[in-house]
Structure 1
Amino acid sequence: ASAVVVGPDGAASSATARPTATLDLLTYGTPAPLGLDPGAADRSFDYVIGRAPGFLDGKPGMHWTVNGHTYPDVPMFEVAEGDVVRMRIDNRSGAPHPMHLHGHHVVVLSRDGVAASGSPWWTDSLEVADGEVYEVAFLADNPGIWMDHCHNLPHATEGLVAHLMYAGVTTPYLLGHDSGNVPE
């Protein structure tokens, strides 16, 4: 084992034992009010991550999919300001993905059908292992057009990108190589 000791000359150190259990944020802490009611969600979406043969930027290969579609033909999740939104993230891709929704924090409701029972687990990035299914919720309180993508950036550049948009919000910007605006 290696260690770095910071202190005066001759300071001693001792190895710290490796924890015997993994911290599970789904059960850690004490439940508390969320400030929103996911049971009365205004919108619900599925975000199914997969892998399929196809073309991306004209290149053939095995590419990431969102709800069975390759980028840029992936769903646009539309919400209205004030909506309570539930999203089911289902990873069937064969690889883990740290999923990240820009502009919002989500609360984890369940993992693989097991409901959260600890303190509210609020996050902006969620590691979704292959075969895992998470349910999350958030309040649509930040109008815009936001990326919802894998934060393993090579996966994002390989098409694991979707967007969340607010009703009535538009942009003059175009996406794609002709426009020079490539999201990752």
Structure 2
Amino acid sequence: HWHGIALRNDMDGVPGITQKPIDPGAGFTYDFTAPDPGTYFYHPHSGLQIDRGLYGVLVVDDPHEPGRYDQEWIVVLDDWIDGTGTTPDEVLTKLQATNGSGGMGGMSGMGGMGETMQSSLLGGAGDIAYPHYLVNGRIPTSPVTLTGRPGQRVRIRIVNAGSDTAFRVALGGHRMTITHADGYPVQPAVTDALLIGMGERFDVTVTLADGAFPLVASAEGKNGQGMAVVRTSPAAAAPPATAAPSQLTGRVLLGTDLLAAAPSRLPDRAVDTTHDLALGGSMAGYRWTLNGKSFPDTAPLEVRQGQRVRLRFQNQTMMFHPMHVHGHTFALTAGGARKDTVIVRPMQQLEVDLQADNPGQWATHCHNIYHAEAGMMTTLSYRE
């Protein structure tokens, strides 16, 4: 699945909706035009394979990009449990066997690990206490090093490829300017830290200071963090793996706090149809729902070509859900950012508008992969 790209429907990569699964030993060629520049990623839509590391980053460059930065770094965040004595599939089986062990609100750790996963910003912050959190595939005691020179301006493309973890990202000794959300320009916003949900991508710029600094991805509401080292001075001492820069507790922005830049705004027009999506869940059997049903029994969201569609996400659980729509971007109402994945906080309602301009059957789901696998998915379905 080419996450965030408004490509043609038969290339969307969702078994059972847009294609047959690719059999072992077989092949499938994806052939599509990427219509919009931006930071994207790709991953399978088969079971929990993304939580076994099967993903990559896809950057679509803008030929008209003015640049104005000296370097560009790609930073990928992940939570990791595969091969540490269990597998993602075994984790899901255990969640289901233990009636979720906190599936309604993340009040305890996976399988009784005993961790309380609560965030002041997100409420219930996940179901799984991961043993490792990674930045570019490395643990904090063996971090990747990103090198530059003092005074350089760097564009950092940040992708959360995790399955159950939102990350609070900060660079010690620096403030970040958020310039893009899910590939689209936003009105530049200066912040100390950025909270990024699963499936979200943000581009930020920083002006590098002199030294060696921790780029920390703290697992929101959980115990642990990922870390990379940003180094501009060969002689500076490396930060410790447990570094906790003060920026983590400074100003923190979410995608819902951002405003669209003028080129990213949807043209103003009346809404033609509205769909309510009640986000629900039950600890019994670890079942997650949209409008009271679990996929494939969920009712499709029917639209017609050319309509302006409003989706009204109503979170009826005590856990946050990063909701993702395939094949489209949407605009947060009241001038908010243009996105394809957005955090819906516990017991809150969030409205987004999209233009129905890409016919097909499009998966719409929570990007907590365990919630999606346990039923929190439907389709945005075009009708003649």
Deviation at 1:32, TM superposition (A): 4.4
Q: Secondary structure at the match of 1:154?
A: helix
TM normalised by structure 1 equals 0.70
Unmatched tracts of structure 1, length 5 or more: 54-59, 110-115, 169-184
Residue 294 (structure 2) aligns with: 70
Once residues 97 and 77 of structure 1 are traced to their aligned partners in structure 2, the CA distance between those partners, rounded to angstroms, is 18
Within 5 Å, give how 1:15-164 maps onto structure 2.
17-18=246-247, 20-23=250-253, 25-26=255-256, 28=258, 32=262, 34-37=265-268, 40-52=270-282, 61-109=285-333, 116=334, 120-164=336-380
What is the percentage of aligned positions where both structures have the same residue? 35
Deviation at 1:127, TM superposition (A): 1.1
Once residues 78 and 25 of structure 1 are traced to their aligned partners in structure 2, the CA distance between those partners, rounded to angstroms, is 27
Residue 174 (structure 1) aligns with: none
**Against the structure 1 CA distance between its residues 143 and 13, is the aligned structure 2 distance closer, same or farther, given a 3 Å change threshold?**
same
Q: More helix per residue: 1 or 2? A: 2
Q: Deviations over 1:115-152 (max 9, x none)?
A: x3xx5411110011211210000000111100000111
**Against the structure 1 CA distance between its residues 32 and 26, is the aligned structure 2 distance closer, same or farther, given a 3 Å change threshold?**
farther
Deviation at 1:43, TM superposition (A): 1.0
Q: Quick check: 1:100–1:124 contact (8 Å CA) kept in 2?
A: yes
**Against the structure 1 CA distance between its residues 102 and 108, is the aligned structure 2 distance closer, same or farther, given a 3 Å change threshold?**
same
Deviation at 1:94, TM superposition (A): 2.4
Residue 68 (structure 2) aligns with: none
Once residues 304 and 366 of structure 2 are traced to their aligned partners in structure 1, the CA distance between those partners, rounded to angstroms, is 24
Once residues 345 and 267 of structure 2 are traced to their aligned partners in structure 1, the CA distance between those partners, rounded to angstroms, is 27
Residue 181 (structure 1) aligns with: none
Deviation at 1:24, TM superposition (A): 5.2
Q: Secondary structure at the match of 1:74?
A: coil
Q: Which aligned runs of 4 or more in structure 1 are off by greater than 4 angstroms?
A: 12-17, 24-33
Q: Quick check: 2:305–2:356 contact (8 Å CA) kept in 1?
A: yes
Q: Deviations over 1:61-91 (max 9, x none)?
A: 2411211223322121111111100010011
Residue 199 (structure 2) aligns with: none
TM normalised by structure 2 equals 0.36
Once residues 25 and 70 of structure 1 are traced to their aligned partners in structure 2, the CA distance between those partners, rounded to angstroms, is 27
Once residues 101 and 139 of structure 1 are traced to their aligned partners in structure 2, the CA distance between those partners, rounded to angstroms, is 12
Once residues 73 and 5 of structure 1 are traced to their aligned partners in structure 2, the CA distance between those partners, rounded to angstroms, is 48
Deviation at 1:25, TM superposition (A): 4.8
**Against the structure 1 CA distance between its residues 154 and 5, is the aligned structure 2 distance closer, same or farther, given a 3 Å change threshold?**
closer
Instruction: Give aligned pairs, total.
Output: 153
Residue 10 (structure 1) aligns with: 235
Once residues 250 and 234 of structure 2 are traced to their aligned partners in structure 1, the CA distance between those partners, rounded to angstroms, is 32
